């Protein structure tokens, strides 16, 4: 293995940032579509590994959260990868139940830049956010978004 | 479009962080493999759009850089997406010439977590970094890595 030491690398060798966070790119394990980008701290990564369901750290709410806790749209982990260069980013391949995006789209990345310089919606809504989250927008708005979560 | 205003969204509506950066997940446009994650400032995004080749901002070197400038391993942009929730992350689909990772792997995310808690190398080396970058490691080490770049 291309590492400085002979010892195998573990999650102890991941580089969390100054806030104790590591970005996680979440990808559909079959289509490889990027569903969302969110942040994990050490605790949420350990919980993700232990349960097989993704858990994150909400930067906006400064709170630990389990994806799908409100909506039921959990993510079953199929594999976890890190970059061989710095080990400071994760790619998590998941089986997505329902949709990743709290706006009702399967992927958060449903805006595509067009030749005229404007973004167009390219994804289709899988669910109606009001029906899933109701008025409280429980898990929504800042929790299942791409990176604010 | 699900936005507060009637006006179409443009790159003026992207949210760059306090350092003026936005993370960009770079994905192979055909296989959808995640190749790398790096950061763009406004200038590098504009240059990426204008030239059709990815440009980033190196956080470690505090420097603008064109992917593949040293190695020739440029990335031809096929599409640029942002998240509908916050518009604070990009997904860029590219045609990768050579390899994305300066370590010689096609993808930077060539370490996969195993059941025993250790990371194993899952990617194959496409090139020998010493042969491409030489002793100077020109574009290497901190430039084409996953997120330090």
Compute the average pLDDT of residues A43-66.
96
Instruction: Verify whether the Cβ–Cβ distance A109 to B81 is below 8 Å.
Output: yes
Q: Does B125 fall in a domain?
A: yes
The residue in chain B having the minimum alpha-carbon distance to the alpha carbon of residue A22 is: B147
Three-state DSSP string of chain B: CCCCCCCCCCHHHCCCCCCCCEEEEEEECCCCCEEEEEEECHHHHHHHHHHCECEEEECCCCEEEECCCCCCCCEEEEEEEECCCCCCCEEEEEEECCCCCCCCECCCCCEEECCCCCEEECCCECCCHHHHHCCCCCCCCCCCCCCCC
Compute the average pLDDT of residues A101-105.
92
Domain that holds residue B55: 11-133
Number of domains in chain B: 1
Handedness of CA A93, A54, B144, B9 (dihedral sign): positive
Q: Does A138 fall in a domain?
A: no
Q: Does B123 fall in a domain?
A: yes
pLDDT in tens, B79-118: 999 999 999 999 999 999 999 998 999 999 999 999 999 9
Across the interface, of A79, A85, A146, the residue whose CB is closest to B83 is A146
Interface pTM, i.e. ipTM? 0.88
**pLDDT tier at A132 (50, 70, 90 boundaries)?**
confident
Q: Does B138 fall in a domain?
A: no
The CATH number assigned to the domain holding A44 equals 3.10.20.810
Please list the ranges in chain B whose pLDDT falls under 70: 1-5, 135-149
CA distance B88 to B13: 9
Query: What residues in A contact B89, CB-CB < 8 Å?
Result: 37, 108-109, 146-147
Q: Does B106 fall in a domain?
A: yes
Q: Does B1 fall in a domain?
A: no
Q: Is the pLDDT of residue A141 over 70?
A: no
Mean residue pLDDT of chain A comes to 88
Look up the pTM and report it.
Answer: 0.88
Query: What residues in A contact B82, CB-CB < 8 Å?
Result: 109, 111, 113, 119
Across the interface, of B2, B109, B113, the residue whose CB is closest to A83 is B109
């Amino acid at each position: 293995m291309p590492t400085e030491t002979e010892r195998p690398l573990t999650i102890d060798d991941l580089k969390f940032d100054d806030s104790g966070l590591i970005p996680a790119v979440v990808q559909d394990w079959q289509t490889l579509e990027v569903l969302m980008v969110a942040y994990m701290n050490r605790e949420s990564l350990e919980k993700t590994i232990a349960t097989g369901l993704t858990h994150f750290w909400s930067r906006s709410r400064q709170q630990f959260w389990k994806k799908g806790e409100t909506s039921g749209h959990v993510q079953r982990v199929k594999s976890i990868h890190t970059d061989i260069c710095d080990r400071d980013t994760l790619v998590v391949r998941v089986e997505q139940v329902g949709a990743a995006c709290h706006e009702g789209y399967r992927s958060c990345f449903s805006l595509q830049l067009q030749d005229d310089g404007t973004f167009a919606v390219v994804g289709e809504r899988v669910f109606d956010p009001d029906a899933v989250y109701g008025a409280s927008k429980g898990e929504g708005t800042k929790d299942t978004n791409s990176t604010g979560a």
